[in-house]
Amino acid sequence: MAALKNEDGPLVASEDVKTVGVIGAGQMGSGIAQVLAQSGYTVRLADVDDSHLETGVNHIGKRLQRAVDKDRISSDDRDKALSRIHTGTDYAMFGDCDLVIEAATENEDVKRKIFKTLVPHLRADAALATNTSSISITRLASITDRPGRFMGMHFMNPVPVMKLVELIRGIATEDRTFQVVRDLAIALGKTPAVAEDFPAFIVNRILLPMINEGVYTLYEGVGSVESIDTAMRLGANHPMGPLELADFIGLDTCLAVMNVLYDGLADSKYRPCPLLVKYVEAGWLGRKAGRGFYDYSGDTPVPTR
């Protein structure tokens, strides 16, 4: 099928999406790259330097090896997936991509700089998506040369395991762009959920205030880290307590989302807990930093309060 025409010019058709770029080789970006490669797509994975890329690819390799060990995939499947991932630091590598997914840190200034650097390298018919968990799609799209071909594609963490992808249109996102991105999500074995372009969308609009309230519960001395997490695991049947989950997500990401909610909706119920702010200022960002509401330096996580 030929490329489809719209007001912004040509747009790649769903069945012609073969090569997908991913910007950011961290927890989310490496997970997105992995599921793309396992689904048969050629992947261009970029980050700021080779060490970040090496770490990201190593994590992909370890996850795939665990899947082999559990007989979920074959060693041949593992090798083929890894062979589809091509890394680099120069955005010129995205010149042959049909779609590029930005999955950098949850910081609007960082994302804006990425898009300004990226768009001169893109094909005219390429689509562009962001994995932001909270930032306005419309605002991010406005700094690109293709707001009609730009939308949110918010994967859940860990990407290879979680089935949901939130799809968020900006005010300018065209129907054909939405269809191409939705078709990709389904091809990856994900279930799309459509969200409107409001701060934090659906999942984080509900989840992060719960986590923030868990931090307030600790801050006000209502319960300890262990008692709060135990209460929510056993009392609400949650797989993780809110503080354990915050550490898993990253306390800096939790704070960033709460700030987006607080600034965007101007409602005091979204005010980030001062204790969350303090932990982030201390660099206690959760699992990735080795310390958050739990200390991860030993074999078993130990509550820090």
Our answer to whether residue 52 is catalytic in this structure is no
SS3 for 85?
strand
Query: Helices in 86-202 by DSSP H: which ranges?
Result: 108-118, 137-141, 175-187
Our answer to whether residue 166 is catalytic in this structure is yes
Q: Which of 204, 127, 212, 205 is nearest to 172 (CA)?
A: 127
Strand 85-88 relative to strand 42-46, pairing:
parallel
Our answer to whether residue 154 is catalytic in this structure is yes
Q: Which of 49, 61, 50, 47 is nearest to 94 (CA)?
A: 47
Choose the catalytic residue: 14, 131, 204, 212.
204
What whole-number distance in Å separates Cα of residue 187 and Cα of residue 94? 21
CB 6: neighbour CB atoms within 10 A? 14
Residues 207 and 253: beta-carbon distance below 8 Å: no
SS3 for 10?
strand
CB 126: neighbour CB atoms within 10 A? 25
What whole-number distance in Å separates Cα of residue 27 and Cα of residue 32? 9
Choose the catalytic residue: 102, 106, 166, 244.
166
What whole-number distance in Å separates Cα of residue 108 and Cα of residue 137? 11
Our answer to whether residue 174 is catalytic in this structure is no
Residue position matching structure tokens 């960033």 = 256
Choose the catalytic residue: 133, 134, 136, 212.
133
The residues annotated with a catalytic role in the active site are 133, 154, 166, 204
